[in-house]
Amino acid sequence: MSECKRVIAHLNDILEKWAARKYRRFKRSRAKAREWLRRMAERAPEMLYHWTLGVLPSAG
Name the residue ranges covered by the structural domains of the chain: 3-52
pLDDT in tens, 1-59: 588 888 988 998 999 999 999 998 988 788 899 999 999 999 999 999 988 888 888 76
What pLDDT, on the 0 to 100 scale, is given for residue 41?
92
Rounded CA-CA distance 60/57 in Å is 9
Exposure string for 30-41, b = 16+ CB within 10 A, e = fewer: eebbbbbbbebb
Confidence (pTM): 0.78
Cα 25 → chain centroid? 16
CA–CA distances in Å: residue 16 to residues 49, 55: 17, 15
What pLDDT, on the 0 to 100 scale, is given for residue 26?
87
